[in-house]
Amino acid sequence: MRIISGRFRGRRLRGPRGMGLRPTADRLKESLFNILGAGINGAVVLDVFAGTGSIGLEAISRGARDVVFIESDREAAQLILKNAGLCGVTSGYRILHGDVFAMLREQARTGLTADIVFLDPPYRWGPYRDLLEILARTGIATAESRVVLEHHSKAPVPESGDGFLRVRLVRQSDKCLSLYRIGAGPATDGGDL
């Protein structure tokens, strides 16, 4: 596992030894950042179910202004801190440890609005709709935000719900990225995500 591009390109990150984490594969990560393009530069990024921190650290490497990592597993939260150290990152990020829904509500109370939200729950996880709805209800994600959910191709991921609409699906083998538009109104062609 490594940083693919940007100022930390090639830095190796520590992996999840026996922790039950499933880091985003380099090929899928490359697709994600190709989709995000230059929009990552100067962005506020929310990395939910952050695991090793690979996505958020890649975002920092590519110019993100601020990254908020949310991780419920204490060992994984420590791994994110170690990986940030391996990249020499000392500022521009926060690691929040706790229940994902509680942490999202807490961040909403602080007024956090993310430009990019990356969600990578365990593949056997279930409440996808609740997760997307809380982003829309709390204002953490807005109509201008890019919301990306990584999931297994057979996962029961909703296409739409209260305040969100899937506008693009990227499939690589049995792994997928679903891109969502937050807020009311139909999607156009999905090309701007």
pLDDT at 124: 83
Quote the CATH superfamily of domain 26-182: Vaccinia Virus protein VP39 (3.40.50.150)
> How does the average pLDDT of the chain come out, rounded?
90
- The pLDDT tens digits for 70-80 are 999 999 999 99
Taking the CA atoms of residue 22, residue 33, residue 107 and residue 178 in that order, the dihedral angle to the nearest 10 degrees is: -70
Pairing outcome for strands 44-48 and 116-119: parallel
Tens of pLDDT, residues 2-25: 899 999 999 999 986 655 556 677
**pLDDT bracket for residue 126 (50, 70, 90):** confident
| CA–CA dist 129, 117 (Å, integer) | 15
Domain ranges of the chain: 26-182
pLDDT on residue 55: 96
Better pLDDT: 62 or 185: 62
Is residue 88 very low, low, confident or very high in pLDDT (cuts 50, 70, 90)? very high
What distance lies between CA 59 and its chain's CA centroid? 10
Residue 158 phi, psi (nearest 5): -75, 145
Alpha-carbon torsion (34, 24, 101, 41), positive or negative? negative
Q: Which of 61, 19, 71, 21 is nearest to 41 (CA)?
A: 61
pLDDT score, position 164:
96
Mean pLDDT value of segment 34-43:
94
Report the C-alpha dihedral over residues 37, 39, 42, 43, rounded to 10 degrees.
-110
* Residues 132-179 pLDDT 10s: 999 999 999 999 999 999 999 999 999 999 999 999 999 999 999 999
